[in-house]
Amino acid sequence: MIPASFEYVRAESLDEALALLVEHGDEVKLLAGGHSLLPLMKLRLATPSVLVDIGRIDELKYVRDEGDVVAIGALTTHHDLARNALLSRHVPVLAHVAGQVGDPQVRHRGTIGGSIAHGDAASDLPAVVLALGGTYVVAGPKGRREIPASEFHLGFLETALEPDEALTEIRVGKWGEGGWGFEKLTKRAQDWAIVGVVAVRREVPDGAGAGAVAAGSGIGVALVNMASVPVRAASTETALADGASIADAAALADADCDPAADVNASVEYRRHLARVLVRRALEQASR
Amino acid sequence: MSASKSVRVEIKVNGKAVAAEVEARLLLVQFIRDVAGLKGTNIGCDTTSCGACTVLLNGQSVKSCTVLAAQADGASILTIEGLAPEAGDGSGEGAASLMHPVQRAFHENHGLQCGYCTPGMVMAVTSLIAEAGPGELDEAAIREGLEGNLCRCTGYHNIVASALAAAREAGVAVARTGAGE
């Protein structure tokens, strides 16, 4: 399969990429690792007129310690995240899940920023950032702004990015203390999750309650492929904050989402999987 | 550089520079097969699933059906033909002794059935071993490391045994396991 014809241009810096986005308007797409975009183009589900290749912009490849936060450059590959010592120490769930995306070949090319900006609810990494209460830094002609992960994904393959903006950085609070769990069910090892679950738990002071979750502590549970966007299992989180058992809280895992049926799973099967996988992920996070 | 439907690329394939003016939409696998003329890299699913088109790009395994030739401009590509060129097509007198250790492991452990997935499997195993630290690869790690390569003959048992043998020769395998032994 061959993509529809397009014009290609390589940006050597973020500023150049942003200028090219403005120059080429609505018909342009940024190309990072290409492992979400190129398959869509080969199927002619996406037919951009211009591709701006940002894959060589080294200034967007990093993992930095910024005090309470780990900052990740958008063009860092899944492979590099999975093997990054700083990330493994401070946000181990993100390093682990990056190592579970696709397969080794995909992880060598695919980038965290590409995965998140693509906005597929079946992707693993957006759910991790959501569960951690992270934020996304985007840059555009009007400057730089931060978007909370909970406000970034708007619908199927739709994000809060403006057409002239690029995702540049992912920021997550250090979460080395406490536990985490990740579960996904796939038919083949390399497949997208039919349903995936990320659970993170940090010890919180007595009385901090569910409100502490958004501030980066407490318990966060996020679901992969249970709606058109990655979603928090809010009822489960609230139940846990109110002292419910894992089993009782997990029974509410699908209460706040609206999954779709597809060739892999019916709606009811997805709901069942969410409840089972949330229980397992919470059990892992509690160890 | 301004946006254009054709791109001048120069890609080092198995140590030899191959330069061409190509369509921007040309895939790396098509560049390897049709521009460089090396047909050892197979196209299987063409959807980033099967791994038959796996080559090394700057030393890392990639599925060349999901990389544009333009993205690989300036890169070094290693294909199955470049692993041990002195072994030729493997059929000559004493060729087995000239093979790359991973090729030889597949040869000795009969790590193939129809052979279509084999070039991709060999390149994926080569990348896996190159990336492994000492003692990192056991059978489970090899099976997980090969999750991006499908064998429609389902000949996985001997493929894993081949990969284990190659890893052992490279000094990285730890566990003695059941596969093919």
Per CB-CB distance under 8 Å, the chain A contacts of B47 are 1, 39, 42
Count of domains forming chain B: 2
By C-alpha distance, the chain B residue nearest A107 is B62
- The whole-angstrom separation of Cα A153 and Cα A147 is 10
Contact A62, A42 (CB under 8 A): no
Q: What percent of chain B has pLDDT over 90?
A: 82
Q: For tokens 């682990």, name the residue.
A: A96
In a shared domain, residues A211 and A145: no
In a shared domain, residues B92 and B140: yes
Q: Which domain holds residue A147?
A: 58-172
CA dihedral A76, A80, A82, A85 (to 10 degrees): -110
By C-alpha distance, the chain B residue nearest A9 is B3
Contact B28, B64 (CB under 8 A): yes
Checking DSSP bridges between strand A153-155 and strand A158-159, what pairing results, if any?
antiparallel
pLDDT score of A204 = 53
Contact A220, A245 (CB under 8 A): no
The last residue of one of the domains, among B81, B110, B137, is B81
Q: Among A9, A34, A79, select the one facing B71 at the smallest CB separation.
A: A34
| CATH number of the domain within which A88 lies | 3.30.465.10
**pLDDT per residue as tens digits for the range A107-165:** 999 999 999 999 999 999 999 999 999 999 999 999 999 999 999 999 999 999 999 99
Residue B181 lies in a domain: no
Alpha-carbon gap: A99 to the closest alpha carbon of chain B (Å) = 11
Q: Is the pLDDT of residue B178 over 80?
A: no
Contact B171, B150 (CB under 8 A): no
pLDDT score of B131 = 94
Q: Is the pLDDT of residue A231 over 70?
A: yes
**pLDDT per residue as tens digits for the range B117-138:** 999 999 999 999 999 987 789 9
Per CB-CB distance under 8 Å, the chain B contacts of A3 are 25
Q: Among A1, A79, A105, select the one facing B63 at the smallest CB separation.
A: A105
Q: Among B7, B48, B124, select the one facing A39 at the smallest CB separation.
A: B48
Checking DSSP bridges between strand A153-155 and strand A143-148, what pairing results, if any?
unpaired
- The whole-angstrom separation of Cα A104 and Cα B128 is 8
In a shared domain, residues B94 and B155: yes
Distances (CA, A) of A265 to A36, A50, A268, B176: 22, 36, 8, 38
Count of domains forming chain A: 3
By C-alpha distance, the chain A residue nearest B43 is A1
User: Reduced to 3 states, what is the DSSP secondary structure of residue A286?
Assistant: helix
Q: Among A1, A6, A24, select the one facing B24 at the smallest CB separation.
A: A6
In a shared domain, residues A95 and A158: yes
Q: Tokens representing A22?
A: 């403005």
> Average pLDDT for residues B25-54, to the nearest whole number?
97
Cβ pair B3:A35 closer than 8 A: no
Residue B18 lies in a domain: yes
| CATH number of the domain within which B47 lies | 3.10.20.30
In a shared domain, residues B38 and B108: no
Contact B83, B103 (CB under 8 A): yes
Arithmetic mean of pLDDT over chain A? 93
Residue B178 lies in a domain: no
Q: Among candidates B153, B89, B165, B76, which has minimal Cα distance to B125?
A: B165
**How many interface pairs between A and B have CB atoms less than 8 angstroms apart?**
97
Q: Among candidates B37, B78, B23, B88, which has minimal Cα distance to B55?
A: B78
Amino acid symbol at B121: M
Q: Among candidates B22, B31, B24, B19, which has minimal Cα distance to B3?
A: B24
Alpha-carbon gap: B63 to the closest alpha carbon of chain A (Å) = 6
Which residues face A155 on adjacent strands? A158
- The whole-angstrom separation of Cα A50 and Cα A11 is 12
Cβ pair A5:B4 closer than 8 A: no
Place A267 in a pLDDT band, splitting at 50, 70 and 90: very high
Cβ pair B47:A50 closer than 8 A: no
- The whole-angstrom separation of Cα A217 and Cα A209 is 10
Higher-confidence residue of A201 and B95: namely A201
Q: Among candidates A264, A225, A271, which has minimal Cα distance to A250?
A: A271
The last residue of one of the domains, among B21, B49, B81, is B81
Cβ pair A189:B7 closer than 8 A: no
pLDDT score of A216 = 42
| CATH number of the domain within which B155 lies | 1.10.150.120
Q: Which domain holds residue B142?
A: 84-170
pLDDT score of A175 = 79
ipTM of the complex: 0.94
Residue A2 lies in a domain: no
Q: What percent of chain A has pLDDT over 90?
A: 89
CB of B7 within 8 Å of a chain A CB? The answer is yes
Per CB-CB distance under 8 Å, the chain A contacts of B144 are 189
Give B 100-159 residues with CB within 8 A of chain A: 124, 127-128, 144-145, 147-150
Contact A64, A98 (CB under 8 A): no
- The whole-angstrom separation of Cα B21 and Cα B67 is 17
In a shared domain, residues B56 and B92: no
Alpha-carbon gap: B89 to the closest alpha carbon of chain A (Å) = 26
User: Reduced to 3 states, what is the DSSP secondary structure of residue B137?
Assistant: strand
A131 contacts: CB under 8 Å, gap ≥ 6: A93, A198, A199, A200, A220, A221, A222, A232
Place B180 in a pLDDT band, splitting at 50, 70 and 90: very low
pLDDT score of A66 = 97
Cβ pair A104:B48 closer than 8 A: no
CB of B10 within 8 Å of a chain A CB? The answer is no
Query: Which residues of A lie inside 8 Å of B (Cβ-Cβ)?
Result: 1-10, 20, 24, 31, 34-35, 38-39, 41-42, 50-53, 55, 79, 102-106, 108-109, 188-190
Alpha-carbon gap: A103 to the closest alpha carbon of chain B (Å) = 5
pLDDT score of B69 = 98
DSSP symbols for A200-215: EE----TT--THHHHT
Q: Is the pLDDT of residue B181 over 80?
A: no
pLDDT score of A217 = 52
By C-alpha distance, the chain A residue nearest B26 is A2
Q: Which helix (H) or strand (E) holds B22?
A: strand B16-23
- Per DSSP, chain B holds a count of helices (H) and strands (E) of 7, 5
Place B94 in a pLDDT band, splitting at 50, 70 and 90: confident
User: Reduced to 3 states, what is the DSSP secondary structure of residue B23?
Assistant: strand
Cβ pair B46:A1 closer than 8 A: yes
Cβ pair A105:B148 closer than 8 A: yes
Residue B91 lies in a domain: yes
Q: Tokens representing B115?
A: 């052979």
Cβ pair B148:A79 closer than 8 A: no
CA A154 to chain CA centroid, nearest Å: 13
Buried b (16+ CB within 10 A) or exposed e, B118-150: bbbbbbbbbbbbebbeeeebbbebbbebbbbbb
In a shared domain, residues A162 and A250: no
Residue A250 lies in a domain: yes
> Average pLDDT for residues A38-59, to the nearest whole number?
97
Residue B177 lies in a domain: no
In a shared domain, residues B132 and B164: yes
Per CB-CB distance under 8 Å, the chain A contacts of B25 are 2-6, 41
